[in-house]
Amino acid sequence: MKVLDGETLSPPPLWLMRQAGRYLPEYRATRAKAGSFLDLCYSPEFATEVTLQPIRRYGFDAAILFSDILVIPDALKRDVRFTEGHGPQMTPIDADGIHALKPDGVISHLAPVFETVRNLRRELPEKTTLLGFCGAPWTVATYMIAGHGTPDQAPARLFAYRHREAFEYLLAFLAEVSADYLVEQIDAGADAVQIFDSWAGVLGEAEFEAFAIAPVRRIIQSVKARRPQAKIIAFAKGAGYQLKSYRQKTGADAIGLDWSVPLAFATELQKDGPVQGNLDPMRVVAGGKALEDGIDAILQALGNGPLIFNLGHGITPQADPEHVTALVARVRGRQGSSA
């Protein structure tokens, strides 16, 4: 929270995207008990447990609520389901379906998520920041239109060109619902929230402005109008040079950087405020010198400004938990083997 206020800390605070996940044996055991993936997200008992697991094991400086960006379309009755080996699936939405969307019942459907946040607020160490989150409208819309994940989000891009009015209506609708969702998380006890725009990198310049910046700005303005103290991290994966004005145009307090952002460019971005990132998750899988060199380069380039150390995207299931132990030790200045 100090870094989100613009302070520089040494060592920097540390958390990892997807820090609660399949690389941890304790997560896999809890996941097996929970039933389906959505059952896990909507069970306050299980969701609280898996959120706390990496905090117990590694002592990260922040815990991030265990949930999924697709609970919003699920709450909108888009028949979201997670299929082993295929990821999320839902019935694709069309222009008529978009205009038929109603926000009624969304917040009540998500009540178990807010109960999880309240549980975490009670159970987390006082010094551990609690992060809530949502998906950015563009990224959530890509799944709603295609009905599943795709490599380049061509279905959503094509839909946006052919049905611009309906698509912009969808983005604005998702922005308003997502802002309500974040306010509820903050009221339940989240210290700060992150907006994940995982598919921002497939957008051209004009589309990035309209589909990535404008809806995220709408969320942030709505949240801060109601909760002026709210701190918001915006993560536009793959946005590259378009990050240059992303903070200013969205109003985010900090921006997340993926691993493809050059550290020289990251240093320029840091002059405008806090940055978060941006270790390649594959370095955590590799361990050893690759991991150490990646950590050291980030700390050397960004450690003299406001930095939240993180990965450039989520930790992968192949990661060795012992490599994460070594990562934490090295960031915090204690040498340790990561082999």
Cα torsion for 48, 49, 51, 56, to the nearest 10°?
130
CB contact at 8 A, 73 and 110: no
- Choice among 57, 68, 217, 332 that is catalytic: 68
Helix 25-34 to helix 44-58 angle, to the nearest 10 degrees?
180
Report how far residue 82's alpha carbon sits from residue 86's, in angstroms, rounded to the nearest whole number: 7
Give catalytic status of residue 22 as yes or no. Answer: yes
What are 161's two structure tokens? 């060109």
Continuous segment of H or E residues that includes residue 228: none
Report how far residue 167's alpha carbon sits from residue 259's, in angstroms, rounded to the nearest whole number: 30
- Choice among 18, 157, 218, 283 that is catalytic: 18
CB contact at 8 A, 154 and 180: no
Report how far residue 249's alpha carbon sits from residue 247's, in angstroms, rounded to the nearest whole number: 6
Within the chain, residue ranges assigned H as helices are: 25-34, 37-42, 44-58, 71-75, 95-99, 106-109, 111-123, 137-146, 154-162, 164-188, 205-207, 214-226, 246-250, 263-270, 281-286, 288-302, 321-331
Q: CA-based angle 198:131:179, to the nearest 5?
A: 65
Report how far residue 209's alpha carbon sits from residue 193's, in angstroms, rounded to the nearest whole number: 22
Report how far residue 164's alpha carbon sits from residue 152's, in angstroms, rounded to the nearest whole number: 19
- Choice among 31, 78, 218, 330 that is catalytic: 31
- Choice among 57, 79, 81, 143 that is catalytic: 143
Pairing mode of beta strands 87-89, 81-83: antiparallel
Give catalytic status of residue 118 as yes or no. Answer: no
Report how far residue 167's alpha carbon sits from residue 317's, in angstroms, rounded to the nearest whole number: 34
Give catalytic status of residue 81 as yes or no. Answer: no
Would you please indicate which residues are annotated as catalytic (active-site) residues? 18, 22, 31, 68, 143
